Amino acid sequence: MSAPDVKAFFDEATFTVTYVVSDPTTSRAVIIDPVLDYDPASGRTATSSADQVIAYVGENDLAIDWILETHVHADHLSGAPYLKEKLGGRTAIGRNVTAVQATFRKIFNLGDVTPDGSQFDHLFDDDENLDVGSIRGRVMATPGHTPACVTYVIGDAAFVGDTLFMPDFGTARTDFPGGSAPQLYQSIQAILSLPDDTRLFMCHDYKAPGRDVYAWETSVREQRDANIHINKNVSESEFVAMRKGRDSQLGMPKLLLPAIQVNIQAGEFPKPEDNDVRYLKIPIDAV
């Protein structure tokens, strides 16, 4: 099986990993889960995270075909529009983003947001092809954390979004609107049915207790043998009970309110108002 080159960029402020995945034969590439820097205290944005990606792409003479989201993120704002402007490429996400848009359109009262996914250049169906240069790839629908979650399988590598974390940290929460612990269990089983030596790349890492360094690459075999939440000895009922109990103790991600209303629009901010300033909404006692 072909092995793409994978370059990771870790954003410690949001614990997010952005990937540039490229075909060494053709220099065609995709970007997965890009970050726009955002300071919630001041409302200011910056592009230092995305600029590192741009520098790498330029230094390696890569041509960007896609800018991909594994799901609508609640913990960082997407840098997709900025990267598309600088590097080209088409933005894409799983087709079920429409369900997420419909839910949060109501919560934020975003009357000008059409929940049809048209904000993205393309919506992927389950099992749709996604080749990177000469490397064969496909898209797997892996809902559970959110309805729109997908895993991008490119050669011997799979980019799993928030379905899984490193084996010593476990799995994603399922208490967001449209989330489902039974669905997440089944989605992870589909990921773990890939060949044992498939490289799995996480979207986040938070350093599990006792681990001093960040990590984001593992394998199907390692996850199946050692994931603390969902290894080969854990039944669906056990997983669902654990996940629901754990989720009930979790707080809200600090960037959820700004991130969701931007990311359901493919990373685009609202249009400026008559004073040329753009505003995000904070719903009071509604979430």
Per-residue pLDDT reduced to its tens digit, 27-43: 999 999 999 999 999 99
pLDDT attached to residue 1: 76
How confident is residue 287, by pLDDT bands cut at 50, 70 and 90?
A: confident
Q: Averaged over 166-179, what is the pLDDT?
A: 96
For residue 164, give the nearest of 97, 100, 220, 247 by alpha carbon: 220
d(CA 81, CA 90): 10
Tokens of 107: 């919560």
**pLDDT at residue 216 tops 80:** yes
d(CA 29, CA 202): 18
pLDDT attached to residue 38: 97
**pLDDT at residue 260 tops 80:** yes
For residue 120, give the nearest of 86, 53, 62, 72 by alpha carbon: 72
Q: Scan for tokens 């092809």, then name that residue.
A: 129
Q: Averaged over 183-193, what is the pLDDT?
A: 98
Q: Averaged over 127-139, what is the pLDDT?
A: 97
Return the bridge partners of 29, or none: 22, 64
Tokens of 163: 């379905």
pLDDT attached to residue 46: 98
Region at 50 (left for phi over 0; alpha for psi -120 to 50; beta for the rest): alpha
**Coil, strand, or helix at residue 54?**
helix
**Pick from 15-19, 80-84, 243-247, 251-255: least confident:** 251-255
Tokens of 281: 């909404």
Distances (CA, A) of 254 to 14, 66, 74, 261, 269: 10, 28, 9, 14, 18
Please state which CATH number belongs to domain 5-259.
3.60.15.10
How confident is residue 286, by pLDDT bands cut at 50, 70 and 90?
A: confident
d(CA 253, CA 259): 10
Tokens of 110: 């975003």
Residues ≥6 apart with Cβ < 8 Å to 13: 37
pTM of the shown model: 0.97
Residues 11-22 as b or e (16 or more Cβ within 10 Å = b): beebbbbbbbbb
